[in-house]
Amino acid sequence: MQASNEEGILGQEIQRILNESPALAGALVGISIRSAETGEVIYERGSQTRLRPASNLKLLTAAAALETLGDDYVFQTELYIKGLQVDHVLQGDVYLKGKGDPTLLEKDFDELAASLKQNQVQIVHGNLIGDDTWYDDVRYSKDLVWSDEYEYYGAAVSALNASPNEDYDTGTILVEVSPGKKAGKKATVKMKPETEYVEIINKTKTVAEDGKKKIDVERFHGKNVITVSGTIPENAGQTKEWFSVTDPTEYALNLFEKSMKKQGIKVVGEKKQGKTPVDARMIATHESMQLSQLLIPFMKLSNNSHAEVLVKEMGKAANGDGSWEDGLKVAKSQLALMGLDMHTIKMRDGSGISQVNMIPANEITSLLYAVQEKTWFPAYLNALPVAGVEERMVGGTLRKRMKKTNATGNVRAKTGTISGTSSLSGYVTTKRGEKIIFSILLNNFVEEKGITAIQDKIAVMLADQENLLESGL
């Protein structure tokens, strides 16, 4: 039986939840609920209305990437030399060529530098060159606003990049602020990874234990200068902030130069960007984790940069053009083959950060039904945040939500939040064991307080159902 209205027990329960939420006054609501077994729609409200999905758009990007690249796909970073090597001296250049890997850490640059040393290179009478030409030179997606550029979630996209830790927020640096040795001293401010590419201005002061903790960390727009100001008590915990860098390629190249110095390798020439010559000799390759594993930090932590890298990589893999334009064409084509009506969807990026993205809730549940037949579906499902599970790389963005309910450890769903938009779409199993797909898109609200609670109540209500598919209407 297919539902196209709000009648029946399920409709009444959902309407009650919506009516209890004053934050939805004047807002737009799109809800689609269907059987995961048959694909049959069992409840819908505004499900054909195009709404902003925020990070629920990553559900589309992940599916298209898995279909285009495969769940065993890996990104490579290559190290080349060109020139004449006599004993320990290279009369020529060293090239670090990025191919999109969003998971490069400082230790990976150390390993690549060690490979250079294993090739007996100790002095480079030439230049150190970063090659990011695998993708085009457009750093930001079409609708990213300038005020998001310095935020970790608005980081620039490059084919040669670096991350500060195993969250893999590519193109960002982590700033850690701790109390100084005693009151009156400046706070201790550290960067991870340590790099000369970013400048820290420390305007802080450590105060007595009963003092006020008020730390402000700010990166100047368009500059790699971060100012830390304010007060921190002697016994206070550490404050952490992530910021993007202005040029990911220069950032990665700076870290690699640092790794070369650790190995005792000296570069006489300049550090700059360029293209690897076709006759250069490759001496080392670093491979990323497989896409099935990369999906975990991507989806669990809702990593915007990963989404945009995947879009460009789809374009590169399918058409030889690592651009948003070509990547989105490939993604849309794959999604259409999965049964989505791309004429009713506007997809402007891969992450959902654009306020111009639009999709009906019914198209999201249609996708979530279709992907169940794919060989890569276990990796897709495993990457979704799990409600109420504290472990960060399991619960992800849902680890603090729906705790101590029938949704805990049960609901697997993607969250999404941008200004005036909140979304939750995924899978839930009822008490009786019926598998349900749902999508809840909320748009144009003014007050954010209580918005995610609306989604949680609906998801928990679905998990509590004894006999949804037979009597839910």
Active-site residue numbers? 55, 58, 302
Beta bridge partners of 76: 287
The two counts, helices (H) then strands (E), for the chain are 12, 18
Contact predicate 109/162, CB 8 Å: yes
Q: Are strands 128-131 and 271-273 parallel, antiparallel or unpaired?
A: parallel
* SS3 labels along 54-101: HHHHHHHHHHHHHHHHCCCCCCEEEEEEEEEEECCEEEEEEEEEECCC
Neighbours of 194 (CB within 10 A): 11
Q: What is the phi/psi pair of residue 7, to 5°?
A: -80, 170
Of 10, 457, 148, nearest to 139 by C-alpha is 148
Helical (H) or strand (E) element with 421: strand 421-429
Which region holds residue 39: left if phi is over 0, alpha if psi is between -120 and 50, else beta?
left
In which residue are the tokens 């970073």 written? 77
State how far the Cα of 385 lies from the Cα of 381, in Å rounded to an integer. 9
State how far the Cα of 81 lies from the Cα of 79, in Å rounded to an integer. 7
Q: Which one-letter amino acid corresponds to residue 9? A: I
Q: Is the dihedral of CA 407, 413, 418, 419 positive or negative?
A: negative
Q: Are strands 41-45 and 28-35 parallel, antiparallel or unpaired?
A: antiparallel
The full length of the chain comes to 473
